[in-house]
């Protein structure tokens, strides 16, 4: 069990920034760092603290209340939109000292009414600290009441605490919640997500979100050889029973830092064969075969009952190979146009 997170005040930086998530243009992260401290989290690569490990620090964006309205008052966002090669007046390519072509950013301006916003790309907006500081709720109140309204608003979380803000979330334009459920045995889940809720509580939260009338997308993540084997039946059936609108089945990418942290957090657990798991994941061909087999098993369970959720979209999401597959027809999806429905 890691130490409880040390809380500090975040610097007064920009709050609305470009999103790297498909289907969203901009993002807001109410906190820097995350108390959940999931050992496999990709954010641990980019958000660091000199004195604390990942999961043991949280910087609170206390300036949300006074700065976010000012950013929304502008009515639009200037976002980088690709890069271009720098040339001189005669069209000659300019080079860096290292001999590479110079690049500069291209920008576009989006009015808020055409902008898709997501909360929680680099932190869970409903981690435990939200109980006390309510920075996420402050952001939602501002967004819901501001005259400049977004095209749609999404929230990424794994926490039942999201239910405390149902009143606000339902007021947001084209609102949806992306909720993570992890297919691991309870002892493994507790070791790698020490402060997250148990699987049963997460299913209950998804049901409450759906019962409220919200669009709900489930992230079945991460799936890992041996640890996730055997959960296909429960998860495929439960996602259809709960009538989630979409779900992603997402294999873990074997990044060295995340994998080493994962092994360290779950060291000593009975029945966890890390050498065999690692052998499969680090052999690209074998890992690809395992993914294919897992997907086939999932589909064998899903297909006979998919008619019970006729409007549901199940997606296979293999980030390692940069592939999304519509599990209904086996066709590859375009991330570029995903999310354009709203």
Q: With the C-alpha atoms ordered 167, 168, 173, 175, is the resulting torsion angle positive or negative? A: negative
- Cβ atoms of residues 169 and 137 within 8 Å: no
Is 229 inside any structural domain? yes
Handedness of CA 224, 199, 1, 53 (dihedral sign): positive
- Alpha-carbon gap, residue 284 to 305, rounded angstroms: 32
Residue 338 belongs to some domain of the structure = no
pLDDT value for 267: 79
* Phi, psi dihedral angles at 79 (to 5 degrees): -125, 140
- C-alpha–C-alpha distance, residues 80 and 20, integer Å: 11
Which domain covers residue 203, as residue numbers?
6-80+106-332
Is 155 exposed, middle or buried (CB count within 10 Å of its CB: 0-12, 13-18, 19+)?
buried
SS3 of residue 14 by DSSP: coil
DSSP state string for 37-85: --TT-GGGGT---SSS-TTSEEEE-TTHHHHHHHHHHT-EEEEEEEEEE
Residue 117 lies in a domain: yes
For 69, 141, 225, 233, 288, the CA distances from 293, given in Å and listed in that order, are 49, 45, 10, 14, 9
Which stretches in the chain have pLDDT values below 70?
Answer: 1-3, 341-342
The two structure tokens encoding residue 91 = 């069209």
Q: How many domains does the chain fold into?
A: 1
Q: What is the per-residue pLDDT for 150?
A: 97
Closest CA to 130 of 103, 165, 104: 165
Residue 204 lies in a domain: yes
Q: Please spell the DSSP secondary structure of 221-282, one letter per residue.
A: EEE-TTTSTT-HHHHHHHHHHTT-SEEEEEEPP--HHHHHHHHHHTTT-TT--HHHHHHHHH
Strand partners, 95: 101
pLDDT of residue 270: 86
Do the domain assignments include residue 85?
A: no
On whether residue 99 sits in a domain, the answer given is no
Q: What's the distance, CA 104 to chain centroid? A: 29
Backbone dihedral angles phi then psi of residue 48, each to the nearest 5 degrees: -120, 165
Is residue 218 helix, strand or coil?
strand
Beta carbons within 10 angstroms of residue 182's beta carbon: 24
205-223 per-residue burial string, b: 16 or more CB within 10 A, e: under 16: bbbebbeeebbbbbbbbbb
DSSP letters, 85-135, are E-B-TT-PBPB-TTSPBPEEEEEEEEEGGG-EEEE-SSS-TTSTTHHHH-H
8: Cβ–Cβ under 8 A, 6 or more apart, which residues? 57, 58, 59, 60
Taking the C-alpha atoms of residue 195 and residue 131, their distance in angstroms, rounded to an integer, is 14
Report yes or no on 92 lying in a domain: no
What is the CATH number for 47?
3.80.30.30
Angstrom CA distances, 106 to 75, 180, 229, stand at 20, 34, 45
In whole angstroms, how far apart are CA 291 and each of 171, 254, 271, 296? 39, 13, 21, 9
């Amino acid at each position: 069990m890691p130490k409880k997170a040390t809380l500090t005040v975040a610097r007064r930086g920009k709050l609305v920034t470009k999103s790297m998530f498909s289907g969203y243009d901009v993002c807001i992260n109410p906190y820097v760092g995350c108390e959940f401290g999931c050992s496999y989290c990709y954010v641990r690569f980019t958000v660091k603290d000199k004195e604390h490990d990942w999961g043991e620090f949280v910087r609170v964006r206390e300036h949300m209340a006074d700065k976010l309205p000012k950013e929304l008052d502008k009515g639009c966002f200037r976002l980088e939109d690709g890069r271009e090669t720098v040339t001189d007046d005669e069209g000659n390519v300019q080079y860096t000292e290292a001999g590479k072509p110079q690049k500069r950013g291209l920008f576009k301006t989006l009015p808020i009414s055409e902008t898709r916003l997501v909360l929680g790309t680099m932190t869970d907006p409903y981690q435990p600290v939200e109980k006390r500081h309510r920075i996420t709720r402050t952001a939602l109140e501002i967004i819901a009441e501001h005259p400049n309204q977004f095209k749609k608003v999404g929230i990424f979380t794994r926490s039942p605490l999201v239910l405390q803000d149902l009143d606000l979330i339902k007021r947001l334009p084209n609102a949806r919640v992306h909720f993570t459920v992890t297919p691991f045995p309870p002892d493994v889940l507790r070791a790698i997500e020490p402060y997250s809720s148990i699987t049963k509580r997460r299913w209950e939260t998804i049901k409450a979100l759906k019962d409220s009338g919200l669009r709900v997308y489930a992230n079945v993540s991460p799936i890992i050889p041996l640890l996730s084997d055997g959960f296909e039946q429960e998860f495929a059936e439960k996602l259809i029973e709960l009538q989630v609108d979409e779900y992603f089945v997402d294999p873990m990418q074997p990044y060295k830092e995340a994998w080493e942290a994962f092994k360290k957090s779950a060291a000593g657990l009975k029945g966890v064969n890390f050498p065999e798991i690692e052998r499969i994941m680090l052999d690209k061909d074998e890992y690809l075969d395992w993914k294919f087999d897992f997907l086939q098993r999932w589909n064998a369970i899903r297909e006979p009952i998919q008619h019970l959720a006729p409007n549901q979209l199940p997606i296979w999401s293999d980030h390692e190979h940069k592939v999304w597959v519509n599990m209904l027809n086996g066709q590859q999806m375009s991330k570029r146009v995903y999310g354009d429905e709203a």
